[in-house]
Chains A and B, each alone.
Chain A
Amino acid sequence: MKAPRVNTVRSRLLLGSGALIGGIVAIAVLALLSLRALRQAVTEETALLSQVAQLSTGILAAAFDEVRAAELYLSEPSQQARVQFQQSADETYEFGERLRALPRLAEEQRAAIARIGDLQQQVQAAYSYAHALRDLGRDQRAQAAVGAAREPATQMMRLVRTLSANLSAQAEQGGTALLVRADERELLVWVVLALSIVLAGGVSIVTLRSVEVPTERLGLAVQRFSAGDLRPIHLGTMPRELAVLGDAMSRVGTQLRSLVQEVVHESERISATATDLSAVSQELAATASEVSTAMVDVSRGAETQVGGLEAAQSAVERLAASAGSNAELARRVAERGQDIHRLAARYQRDVAAAAKALLDLGGVVQQSARQVDALDQRSESINEFVDVIKQISSQTNLLALNAAIEAARAGERGVGFAVVAQEVRELADSSGAAAEEVAEHIRIVRQQVSQVAETMATGRIKVQGVEEVAQGAARALEAIGGSVSEVEEAAGRLAQAAEGNLTVVQEIRAVLQRVAAAAHAHASASEEVTAAAQEQGAATQQMAAQAGELSQAAQRLRGLVKGFRV
């Protein structure tokens, strides 16, 4: 509650005037108190001063009276003088006591008062004593006693006068002190006055500023609005009353700003759209003109195409006729080929039989040659066998010899054995001879085998020549057969191709007829398209013009809201 309370013009004004009133009241109270204190001080001081004055003059007078009466009594004793002396003495004493009771006395003043008291006691006592002596008629002694009294009396009188003057001076000082105190109070009042003026001035300035500055800011904000500057306003802190106004202005500004921003945004969008539209329509126009140009070409091409197609149709008719004769020819070629083929196959079979017989002969010869060679090899191994037998018979002969020698050494008992050994020797000799004979026979056989082998080799070479001829004939026949087959095949393929050609040509003819019909339709349709394209081009150009106008309108709108700064 405190902060908002202070933050209003009213509260500030109240505060300012409150401070001022408070200051004035404080001054008044202070001045009143000062006056009262001063009055009291003046009263007290005055009372004291009058007392001091009374006492100082009183003691002076009393002391004077005391001494005068004492002296009078001495010169002329009388009841009156005696009473006056006693009364004056009592008064002097009394004044002294009262002076001693005075407040705010300086040390030397107290000392002086005490001294005066002492002197007074002495003086009074001395005069009383002198009076007693005088009463007793002892005048001379009385005079002597008075002599003792006069010195302190003089001193007392001097002291009393000094004190009196001193007290008067003090009274003056008291007055001065009063003045000083009054001055101090006055100064205090002035200081408080100055302080409250400063305070009030400060509060006033603060209050004025707290009203003036926000008002100025509000004025500036209004000027900015009227100049079209709608940027946010910063009003800062201000008293509540003005803050309400400021808030309202801020809100108005915000709303205006958002409105203008929206308009600007919208116009920019329209402008952009119009520009796009214009560009698109121009493109469209260009495309349309291209289309119409192309369509003109198309319709011209379509006419040419129709003419071409008719020519192609007649050519195909001709092509179809020639294709039919081609197929016939091919069929005949194929038939001839088959005849040749049959013939060649027959010859080929004959030649192959002859060649086979020759080849069989060759095989026999070759087999014989291999048998001869094997025989030759066998006779060789027989030779080797004969050599072994010869070797065995020679060693057996040697053994039989050795056995005969041994038998001879054995004497009698060896006679039988010597006979056996002889027999073995003889056997060995005969097997040697048989082996020689075998070897001779084999040599002869081998010579004959060699002759046979040479003959067979010659026969084989001759058979091989026959074989080659037969094989060459067979190959030639086979080649003929192959060539005929190829011719046959080619003729077949030709016939087939001719057939296919004919079908294709017929298909082409049908297609050409359809194409020609389509071409006719096409030509008329392209003319229609051309006309439509030309119409569209005109419409597009109109649209482009309108888009331009729209764009210009958007530009004008933007220009209008450009005056606002947001």
Chain B
Amino acid sequence: MRMGAELAVAEINARGGVHGRRLALVIQDDSAKPEVAVTAARALYANPRVVAVIGHLTSAATLAAAPIYGGGRHPLAVVSPSASAPSLSRAGPYVFRVCPTDVEHGTRLAQFAIRRLGARSAAILYQNDEYGRGIRSTFSQEFLRLGGRLVSDDPYVPELSSFEPYLRRLRQRGGADVLLIAGTAATAQRILPTLDTVGLKPRVLGGDALSGLESFPRAEGVLMSSAYLPDRPGERNAAFVAAYRAAYLGQPLDHRGAAAYDIVYLLARGLDAVGADRRRLRDYLAGIGRTSPPYQGVTGTIAFDEEGDVPGKEVVVGVVRDGRLVMAQN
């Protein structure tokens, strides 16, 4: 995400900045922890040179920081590239995001499983937190709605010693066509070998939290939903990918970097239109897709609804092929 943002800032400043003023990034690290995110948010809020915030990466951090940004006398817009928790929709008028919510990921994955994979049964391993529960809940609803059957639905915490009992019980229950891992890439790395141990071979599905899993050898063939894939068609995206690859050799590019890139350009447009004023900038953002035309970014069309979400934005499903996530046959 940082690299995507820095690339955009460098490009804009190379063209003379906004109204002759150069853009500058103020970097804070929230370590993906809500309490750290609050501290970071306070620092950014107190800095009068900060006109908008790009972040946070995770929903929990964004949720924790949202009251800081939206309160006080000089509220500050925060635009997350990747916080996809449904509850973020109600976090206030100063919170925006350019990614689809988990609900949309779960729904999209269920549709993909039934329609593209022809699945009839599904098992779910979900991390027992907001993200995992969100994906699990929308997936199961859609899957059941489309006529599928849930074989198992088990929660876990990252500290869980072994997934073997869950998977062995799944085997006892006759297995499932697809396994939804509603959790992170780290957990998935532990689950995939266990599947082999237990002797199950379902198609493994996951949300965008599995990003990074593609570099894991066992991940070949794993399907994951994403707001963005580098091989997404479009000239603008191709130019971005080329620039990114040129700038950061060998560094993986995911939806977060691309979204951060889009957000920087979006904010630069806003600064150009209304100037460096926090409140006006927020109003400008809120008007995109409603009072002003949608923004065509590298990640797709950005148009905010009244809750700062982008409901029209597509969710794509990618598949790990040769260590890379590519567009699956949607």
Instruction: Report A's interface with B, CB cutoff 8 A.
Output: 86, 89, 93, 97, 101, 114, 121-122, 124-125, 128-129, 132-133, 135-136, 138
Residue of B at shortest CB range from A86? B153
Decide if B234 is an interface residue (CB 8 Å cutoff): no
In the bound complex, CA of A133 to CA of B160 (Å): 13
Are B155 and A133 interface neighbours, CB within 8 A?
A: no
In the bound complex, CA of A47 to CA of B163 (Å): 44
CB-defined contacts of B160 to chain A, threshold 8 Å: 125, 129
Are B169 and A121 interface neighbours, CB within 8 A?
A: no
14 contacts between A and B (CB under 8 A): A93-B133, A97-B87, A122-B157, A124-B128, A125-B128, A125-B160, A128-B166, A129-B166, A132-B154, A135-B169, A136-B165, A136-B168, A136-B169, A138-B165
Residue of B at shortest CB range from A130? B165
Are B165 and A124 interface neighbours, CB within 8 A?
A: no
In the bound complex, CA of A73 to CA of B217 (Å): 39
Contact of A121 among B34, B155, B168, B172 (CB under 8 A): B155
CB-defined contacts of A89 to chain B, threshold 8 Å: 155
Contact of B169 among A93, A101, A132 (CB under 8 A): A132
Contact of A125 among B130, B156, B169, B172 (CB under 8 A): B156
Q: How far is the CB of A124 from chain B (nearest CB, A)?
A: 5
Q: Per-residue CB proximity of B104-141 to A under 8 Å, as 1/0?
A: 00000000000000000000000011100100000000
In the bound complex, CA of A128 to CA of B125 (Å): 11
Q: Main SS of chain A's interface residues?
A: helix
Are B155 and A128 interface neighbours, CB within 8 A?
A: yes
Are A101 and B87 interface neighbours, CB within 8 A?
A: yes
Q: Main SS of chain B's interface residues?
A: helix
Are A133 and B157 interface neighbours, CB within 8 A?
A: no
Q: How far is the CB of B164 from chain A (nearest CB, A)?
A: 9
Q: How far is the CB of A85 from chain B (nearest CB, A)?
A: 11
CB-defined contacts of A86 to chain B, threshold 8 Å: 153
Residue of B at shortest CB range from A120? B128
CB-defined contacts of B129 to chain A, threshold 8 Å: 121
Contact of A101 among B90, B156, B172 (CB under 8 A): B90
CB-defined contacts of A114 to chain B, threshold 8 Å: 34
Residue of A at shortest CB range from B133? A93
In the bound complex, CA of A107 to CA of B67 (Å): 13
CB-defined contacts of A124 to chain B, threshold 8 Å: 128, 155
Are B165 and A129 interface neighbours, CB within 8 A?
A: yes
Given contacts A89-B155, A125-B160, 14 further A-B pairs with CB under 8 A are A97-B87, A97-B130, A114-B34, A121-B128, A121-B155, A124-B128, A124-B155, A125-B157, A128-B155, A129-B166, A135-B172, A136-B165, A136-B172, A138-B165
Q: How far is the CB of A228 from chain B (nearest CB, A)?
A: 80
CB-defined contacts of A136 to chain B, threshold 8 Å: 165, 168-169, 172
Are A132 and B157 interface neighbours, CB within 8 A?
A: no
Name the residue in A97, A101, A114, A136 with the highest tally of chain B Cβ atoms < 10 Å from its Cβ: A136
In the bound complex, CA of A124 to CA of B126 (Å): 12
CB-defined contacts of B90 to chain A, threshold 8 Å: 101
CB-defined contacts of B153 to chain A, threshold 8 Å: 86
In the bound complex, CA of A129 to CA of B156 (Å): 8
Residue of B at shortest CB range from A89? B155
Residue of B at shortest CB range from A148? B161
Q: How far is the CB of B160 from chain A (nearest CB, A)?
A: 6
Contact A132-B155, Cβ < 8 Å, known A97-B87, A124-B128: no
CB-defined contacts of B128 to chain A, threshold 8 Å: 93, 121-122, 124-125
Q: How far is the CB of B37 from chain A (nearest CB, A)?
A: 13
Q: How far is the CB of B257 from chain A (nearest CB, A)?
A: 30
Q: How far is the CB of A386 from chain B (nearest CB, A)?
A: 174
